[in-house]
Amino acid sequence: MDLGAFEKKIAVTFQNKELLKQAFVHRSYLNENRGLKMAHNERLEFLGDAVLELIVTEYLYHKYPDNQEGDLTSYRASLVNAVTLSGVAESLGFNDYLLLSKGEARDTGRARQSILADTMEAVIGAIYIDQGYEVAKQFISENIFGLIDSIVAQGAWIDAKSRFQELAQEKTGVTPMYKTIRESGPDHDKHFVVGVYLNEACLAEGEGKSKQEAEQKAAEGALKSNGW
């Protein structure tokens, strides 16, 4: 896999090319290619998630000096969630470099969105290890910081659960309930499916790597299905 074009696109030249390659290796690919002496990207994702959160938090702290913690927390969530990160990853051409199992490669829905977001974090982790904090910060600045103005202007930083609860109570007088429908996967890679209910009616289901993420996805689905 030649990642030279990708390095040019992000303006980062890696000293350790194998580290960048590892960032694009999904666990499923190794499950189908057990003879390969490669590591998947989950450790890099773990590191990149922390680096991303710190850099975004620092940026928002200085950009919005008069805002309270609650607003800053919501702004941060809107910048580091799977929807935002997968969109950035797609715009940078991540799909051209992902190493996936045949089954995962065919999926273009929410599962691919989650993989792209995770890979974005893995790439950030790889940049941090190979190039250091400032280069990682520059990469995040160029590709993520600029999204916050439109997010705030559109009110997209208000999380879907809060929005759905407010509208459900206003329009129906009922408070939404969330129930876990399915839970699968090992402890290090859990997958949840959660349904959102008004009374006993399930309006939508959401999937995620945590119950909180799945609940947000379910709320988003309920907002769309109700035209809210």
130 catalytic, yes or no? no
Indicate if the alpha-carbon torsion angle 96, 99, 102, 107 is positive or negative.
negative
Q: Among 45, 49, 118, 220, which one carries the catalytic annotation?
A: 49
Spatial distance between the Cα atoms of 154 and 132, rounded to a whole number of angstroms = 34
Buried b (16+ CB within 10 A) or exposed e, 78-116: bbbebebbbebbeebebeebbbbbeebbeeeeeebbbbb
49 catalytic, yes or no? yes
Q: Among 104, 118, 121, 130, which one carries the catalytic annotation?
A: 121
CA 195 remoteness from chain centre: 20
Q: Which amino acids are annotated catalytic? A: 49, 121
